[in-house]
Amino acid sequence: MTNNRCTLIIALLYFFCTLSLHAQLAQESVKHVKVYYESGMFGGWPANHGAWNWGDEILVGFSKGTYKDLGPDRHNFDKENTELHMLARSLDGGETWTVEDPGAVDGDLVVPDNGSYHGRIRKDVKAPEPIPAEQIDFTNPNLAFTVRMTDHHGAESRIWYSYDRGHDWEGPYNLSNFNTPGIGARTNYIIDGKNECMLFLTAAKANRKEGRVMCVKTIDGGKNWDFVSWIGPEPEGFSIMPASVRISDKEILVTTRRREESGQFIDAYLSQNNGLTWNPLPYPVENCGQGNPPAMVKMKDGRICLIYGYRALEKDIKNKRDKSEIRAKISKDNGRTWSKDYVLRDDGSGKDLGYPRVVQRADGKIVALYYFMDKNTGPERYIAATIWDPPSTED
């Protein structure tokens, strides 16, 4: 057999294997919406902020800064200008959005206060208080609750909460470092009662590098938080940015963003005793390209939907060998197995995208929120929503 024929056969095998692992969605099942786009500006990283929903009212946080071309391997975010932490709100299930600045009036929700994730700090920052004056009512039907790190290295983290769907905020309040070198918190929690809540956090490793995932809990409305467990052993690389769902009264599923010498992937752990111990599950996603965190929601039918961004290498995008995509997977057995990838969109023009959040709206459709870049819009990054009608059963 000639080398050319061998090459052709290998290429065809790769093509058909790829088809079996990825499902291109019918156009009528997905709709893409711009949540925030502004010429000359950069919108990014909903996963660093949080998303909340009350039926068809959806609120998502994101970073806003000035666009600056720093090359394909960098966030094109001008670090010499201020990074603003914004909110976007939809009242119609993600179809249309309005942008809000929660720090514009009195600095209610201004993060961070020790530095900044990517740009300069804004000046109207409140000093943190030790603990909330009153116990937080986690069962308040209009609650929005957020936990954020104060800088990109996760030295300290803070808590805020709102009883009016994110219009007015209480905080910031200090969050313990739990005897670690630092906590790099993003918003991920499970509410278990009026004054009971579990937080899933990323701690710095013993060598002060990223990162290892942990579980902590309050039973007194956020006045005190107690360490519950580490989720998995300390990795050689990192395990960061957990996403969690409660499966039953005692079962919790957590997925994390992993990076090791073997590559970047999403792993999973199951607790059957409310977070006291954790058992590893098969990886939901074995390859995220250059890496992206998971977002999960337990759907109304009991299945779990996982959203993630696939960041292709720049050289592969240019050579049209690979694409940067927003993808979904579904599990019908509580994370033990997962469907093939559903490609929500494949028009990413570079690797700087993803960091999703996900909610399910009243009619059952999934709303995935993420930051994105595409050739039709231009070089700026923007916040996007994909509204997806997931299949009733997996192939």
pLDDT in tens, 140-172: 999 999 999 886 555 789 999 999 999 999 999
> What pLDDT is recorded for position 391?
93
Res 323 pLDDT > 60: yes
pLDDT at residue 25, rounded to an integer? 66
Least reliable range by pLDDT among 102-106, 113-117, 188-192: 113-117
pLDDT at residue 111, rounded to an integer:
59
What's the pLDDT score for residue 220? 98
> What pLDDT is recorded for position 72?
81
Question: From CA 206, how far away is CA 226, in angstroms rounded?
Answer: 19
DSSP 127-161: PPBSS-SS---TT-TT-EEEEEESSTT-S-EEEEE
Which token pair is 22? 């990825």
Q: What are phi and psi of 130, to 5 degrees?
A: -60, -50
Chain segment 347-385, per-residue pLDDT in tens: 999 999 999 999 999 999 999 999 999 999 999 999 999
Structure tokens at 116: 């900044």
Q: Is the pLDDT of residue 3 over 70?
A: no
- Greater confidence (291 vs 105) lies with 291
Q: What is the pLDDT of residues 35-78, one digit of tens each?
A: 999 999 999 999 999 999 999 999 999 999 999 999 887 899 99
- Is pLDDT larger for residue 109 or for residue 60? 60
Write down the pLDDT at residue 46: 97
Indicate whether 4 pLDDT > 80: no
Mean predicted confidence (pLDDT) in 295-314:
95
Kindly tell me the burial class for residue 332, based on how many C-beta atoms sit within 10 Å of its own C-beta (0-12, 13-18, 19 or more). middle
Residue 22 has pLDDT above 90, yes or no: no
Convert the pLDDT of each residue in 385-395 to its tens digit.
999 999 987 65
- The average pLDDT across 90-115 equals 77
Q: Token pair for residue 87?
A: 């909110």
Q: How far apart are alpha carbons 134 and 137 in whole angstroms?
A: 9
1: number of Cβ within 10 Å: 6
Q: What is the pLDDT of residue 321?
A: 81
Domain boundaries, the chain: 27-388
Residue 253 in contact with residue 268, Cβ under 8 Å?
yes
pLDDT value at residue 107 = 55
* Percent of the chain's residues with pLDDT above 70: 86
Q: Please give the mean pLDDT across all residues of the chain.
A: 89
Q: Residue 16 above 70 pLDDT? A: no
What value does the mean pLDDT take over residues 104-120? 58
Least confident of 89-93, 126-130, 334-338: 126-130
pLDDT reported for residue 394: 60
- Answer yes or no: is pLDDT of 256 > 80: yes
How much is the pLDDT for 118?
Answer: 66
27-388 to CATH, choices 2.120.10.10, 3.10.20.340, 2.60.40.10, 3.30.750.24: 2.120.10.10
- Taking the whole predicted model, whether its pTM rises above 0.95 is answered as no
How far apart CA 354 and CA 327 sit, in angstroms, is: 9
- pLDDT at site 58: 98
* pLDDT number for residue 190: 98
pLDDT of residue 250: 97
Stretch 289-301: mean pLDDT: 97
% of the chain beyond a pLDDT of 90: 75
Question: What is the pLDDT confidence band of residue 21, given thresholds at 50, 70 and 90?
Answer: low
